[in-house]
Amino acid sequence: MTPDGAAAAGALIEALRSGVIDPDLGVNVVDLGFVRQASICGGTASLVMTLTSPACPLTKVIEDQARAAVVGTLATELRIEWAWSPSWSPRDVTPAGREQLCAIGFSFAATDGKAS
């Protein structure tokens, strides 16, 4: 990835971190570990994302929030590819995400990284 590409991907990640919040948990999708890849090329932002389950009823809400956060500011179009393998795991949550989840009552086992 070029330096410009890395900067664009970083800006995309920051837009998602501030603008796309899981409605159930109140934590952003980046810190929950839902964003697997992010890039911008030729005006199109592309994401590879996952959720806790392929049957998550909030997929459209997340997509709509992502479009609102990205289209018109960083890109003219947003493409999201949903990836279910490997499946999401609590190990995917960032340290900042863990802090936010702990603040609302979740806990994480120290040895295996699984939520309890």
Q: What CATH number does the domain containing 82 carry?
A: 3.30.300.130
Residue 12 included in any domain = yes
29: left (phi over 0), alpha (psi -120 to 50) or beta: alpha
Expressed as residue numbers, the domain containing 39 is 3-88
Average pLDDT of the segment spanning 47-74: 96
| Structural domain contains residue 36 | yes
What share of residues in the chain are helix, strand, coil (percent, to 5)? Answer: 35, 20, 45
Q: Are strands 77-82 and 35-41 parallel, antiparallel or unpaired?
A: unpaired
pLDDT tens digits, 16-57: 999 999 999 999 999 999 999 999 999 999 999 999 999 999
Question: Is residue 93, in this structure, part of any structural domain at all?
Answer: no
Q: What residues form DSSP beta bridges with 81? A: 48
Q: Which tens digit of pLDDT belongs to each residue from 103-116?
A: 999 998 764 444 44
DSSP 8: H
Instruction: Specify if 116 maps to a domain.
Output: no
Any domain includes 52 = yes
Task: Determine, yes or no, domain membership for 113.
Answer: no
Per-residue pLDDT, 116: 45
- Mean of the per-residue pLDDT values of the chain: 91
Q: Would you call 82 helix, strand, or coil by DSSP? A: strand
Let me know if residue 102 belongs to a domain: no
Number of domains in the chain: 1
Q: What's the predicted TM-score (pTM) here?
A: 0.88
In a domain, 20, yes or no: yes
